[in-house]
Structure 1
Amino acid sequence: MAEESLDLIEEFIKTRDELQKRSFSSVDWDVDYLLMNETLIPCRMALSQKECAFMYMDSQSKENNEILAGEILQLPIWLARELYSRGFVGIDYPDFLSSKMSNALRTDPCSVDLNNISPYFFQVSVIFLGLLQDELFLKVILESFRSRLEKLFLVSIYLHLPNSSESSKMNNDHTQVFLKSLTSIEKDMLEESSISYFESANALYCRRVK
């Protein structure tokens, strides 16, 4: 058991160091990537482990500094993924990937405030469901992303061309609610569409001036 505990600690330190090395390199620095990897996932210990109470995210103290088999820990997804792949922990579905969420996304994905649930909902969901090989739920996530992108496209038209026929359909309270519900990646895509639009408009203006 002592050897297993040592292995777990070594894997923790190794994975943490690798992530830090990657994250703080000049090439891979990405704040969203770091924050996304801190999303907490419920993990169930497969074996009792001594000297590992530091893994409790709520900093609670344990007299014997031991985590018992079956105990549930809230671990960041970067750590949960590594420990799960090595058989140290099992993974439970988090609340934001419950059957209730699946039903809500099937009904109307554009009405769900995903930003309030997690700014990195789609990235975390794809990683998590990929680990558990839950293809049915993963399909729901991808279809939801596609539906929201379709609406995001119409919203971008409304923002860039407010007098167009399509924009008139989007000028309502539902659009404002939808904009507030956008996840990090959706906001990036909307911002990118704005940059592309203004670059295209500027290029067209320059050609006309010439």
Structure 2
Amino acid sequence: MSFYDTDAILTDAQKLPCTFNLDVPGLGYLDGNPGEAIAANTKLELPLWLGMMLTVANANNPTKPPLVTLDFPAPLQSRVMNALEADPKSVDLRAQSPHFYSLGARVLELFEDEAVVGVLLKTFAMRAAEIADHANNPSGALGGGEGAEFLRGLDEMERDLFRRAHEGGKGVRGWVVGLKGLG
């Protein structure tokens, strides 16, 4: 992750469900109670970056539990994973998270879940083929209607893939036209 990567910053700002394992004095402002402590077993949604920091805060002392326990965010929970397993092309990933795949990659740095990795890889592969098809179909992808609806459901990584595939296809077509003009 680059310090200046806007997508990485936005990914790290996404909320993750966390459960505090200990009473933590002075962090009540996270729960809307400035000056108070956060009690053990309090559940909050915190930005990914903060949840990760609080999880490793006691890492150098193995006798103490971590301050918080992280859970999978809603876009990566079983309801969404089951829908992706059933039909990856039908799920509006942008509605789940604008940075769906980046969030998945960051969360999977914390959790080892081979099933989620498999679903994400299968989803990306199947959707990438459709993205390439739309990007190289001059009438379908950018012509509004179904094409616009398709683009609306893509997460940021998929949108970038679409842009690159579309520009690459235009470049190849221009090159071929240039070759024909030489002959």
TM bracket (short chain): 0.7 to 0.9
Q: Which of residues 37, 43, 47 is equivalent to 2:22?
A: 47
Specify the alignment match of 1:38 in structure 2: 13
Choose which of 52, 71, 78 in structure 1 pairs with 2:49.
78
Q: In 1, distance between residues paired with 2:76 and 2:178?
A: 49
Unaligned runs of 5+ in 2: 60-65
Q: Percent identity among equivalent residues?
A: 26
Matched, 1:182 2:157: no
2:93 aligns with 114
Residues 35-184 of structure 1: pairs in structure 2 closer than 5 A: 35-56=10-31, 60-62=32-34, 64-85=35-56, 86=59, 87-159=66-138, 162=139, 176-184=148-156
Measured against aligned partners, the alpha-carbon deviations of 1:119-145 in whole angstroms (never above 9, x if no partner) come to: 111110122133121111221121111
Deviations 1:86-145 (A, max 9, x none): 422101222222221111011101111111111111110122133121111221121111
Q: Secondary structure at the match of 1:47?
A: coil
Please tell me whether the aligned partners of residues 110 and 148 of structure 1 are also in contact (alpha carbons under 8 angstroms). yes
- In structure 1, runs of 5+ residues without a counterpart are 1-18, 24-28
**In 2, are the aligned partners of 1:45 and 1:89 still within 8 Å (CA)?**
yes
- The alignment of Structure 1 onto Structure 2 pairs a total of residues equal to 172
Tell me: CA distance 1:174–1:111, structure 2 relative to 1, closer, same or farther (3 Å): farther
Give the RMSD, CA atoms, in angstroms. 2.4
| CA deviation profile, 1:6-56 (whole Å, cap 9, x unmatched) | xxxxxxxxxxxxx9xx63xxxxx2222211111000111121111122334
TM-score by length of 1: 0.72
Whose helix fraction is larger, Structure 1's or Structure 2's?
1
Name the CA distance, whole Å, in 1 between partners of 2:161 and 2:88: 17
Give runs of ≥4 in structure 1 deviating > 4 Å: 171-176
